[in-house]
Structure 1
Amino acid sequence: MPIASSTTTSGRLLALLSLLQVRRDWPGVLLADRLGVSERTVRRDVDRLRELGYLVHAVKGPDGGYRLEAGSEVPPLLFDEEQAVALAVALRIAVGTGAGIEEAAARALVTLRQVLPSRLRRRVDVLEVGTAGGGPQADTEVLLAVSGAIRAREELRFDYRAPGAEDRDGPPRRVQPHHLVSRAGRWYVVGWSSEREDWRSYRADRMTLRTPNGPRFTPREVPGGDVAAFLAARFKGSDTPAWPCRGEVVLGLPVREVAPFAGGDTVEEVEPGRTRLLTGSWSWASLAAQLARFDAEVEVVGPPELRAAFAALSARAARAAGISSSNP
């Protein structure tokens, strides 16, 4: 079925370029059929793409055909409507990734927006992307070098700056990089440390790479097989995605007032105005303080460690308020 949405030359060129981008080789007769034109018109349109800077090679064979290759310069880019909107969305998100490309992404978004039809510009303008920013940004060259080492399976050698320190912390480090992950506006390198015989994660903005890279290595599978879950677990102080400290309580609040703050935790109505909550944190003290934020009666179902954490929190709160344990 023909896909060309316009009989104009520009419309055909856009449709032709879109087709050439989605597969390696295109027989000329199949392109003509998809575009709803003659093979002679396809040949003329291919010549026009070449004049614009696209390297479209003729493929020899019984059917003949065409192949789009990468060129030495960036030619004028043509996008269909869905591609243009997707690119605009990606650029908006890139502004807050912490990858050191924020300014370039913002400039590219302005350039793209200027040439969008008004109906597409409105779709892009109403999009609001929340990002966590304000922290140090990773150097783009570091991210590219780390990505290259991951693909080449080469050990990284680097200096690492500890939080709050101006200079590197300790001797150079070595790690077998397996993943480069973006989390909350920062980039992390997840890899295997042969020296510590354990998995480690490092903030990319604190890394100063050394050259050359170390020896090649055989890739390992991150524990659990999911790098995002693994990194989230490390932030929780555990080797598994589950919180190391989990407890169950009944809050003196209706479900509607608890659910918006529960994230992925288990929330269940016990009776009107009382809600069961199963949640976790990285320590019992943190879990008790987290539950106290609800400003409601809390009935601890278990475990005993959570009940003890509430007792300790209560004692500290009393001392902070200047209330002696001997006072009534």
Structure 2
Amino acid sequence: MLNTSARLLELLSLLQIRRDWTSVALAGRLGVSTRTVRADIGRLRSLGYPVDARPGVSGGYRLAAGSAMPPLLLDDDEAVAVAVGLGSLAVGRAGIEETALTALAKLEHVLPAHLRPRVAAVREATSTVPALEPPLDLSALGSVAAAIRGHERLRFGYTKPGGAEEPRRTEPQRLVSWGPFWYLLAWDLDRDDWRVFRVDRMVPRAPTGVRFRARVIAEADVVRFVVARVSKAAWTYRARLLVHASAADFAAKVMPIPVEIEAIDASSCRAEVGADDPDRLALWVAQLDVDIEVIDGDELVVAFERLATRFRMAARRRSSLPMKGDVEG
């Protein structure tokens, strides 16, 4: 059995993972009696952690937002700085976006009411270099992350590419950050199948409070599935290539883009590729540093010719310039 201090930390962690816990469920997870759970809840409250209790058979405990910061050794200014910093990391490209997001969700869950306007004010008063896409709504991202962490069904309005919004009911599985967007992999309850949603097109509704048993999917499979759905859905042009490299070597070059590859022999393979236009596809293939022939795709051949002409022109103009150190006269 855990000692009192370790048990309190474990209890606090459990309260942060889910919205509601019954005393019986907490007792089972901690390996103690419900009487000990009640005593430990009282200890957390004495330390400043706001734990609400609901009486009755279906009652339980919930970690609520408090009137003061719990003893995290942070003053008000430090708490605001941490919240704003985590928010910046959550929409950045530092490789720790999801970790920052879960930490932000935990912090904002217990952030005192008088500090929330300060955090919002800093966000609203901060300008960033304009990107190709509008900034992501952190509240929407946080709501999705909280539903995933708590295994809670998620309802939201989803704006489709055509502009129409429709209601969706899902069991959220995982967030995937790729390029300028965040994507949600979720089980769509109305379609009885996996779906991928762009978070910036989602408007989460009020929490449902309905729990579900998460489906087990390997992290690598989640990423492959999302990338495949997102990439192929955006392809408006496709072509088939003969690649003068082994299937394994070519697959390593194109990861994580979902390209269908068929091995021919140890030094060649066939591949189906695609993009939203032939010129962009030609430029991407040229960057792979591998010899290819176009089997099917006349528009791609023309795009390669345009690209070759542009490259030759650029090289010719460069060669006509005087070299550094040349003296005219």
Q: Per the shorter chain, which TM-score range?
A: 0.3 to 0.5
TM-score (norm 2): 0.45
Structure with the greater alpha carbon radius of gyration? 1
Name the one with the larger helix percent: 2
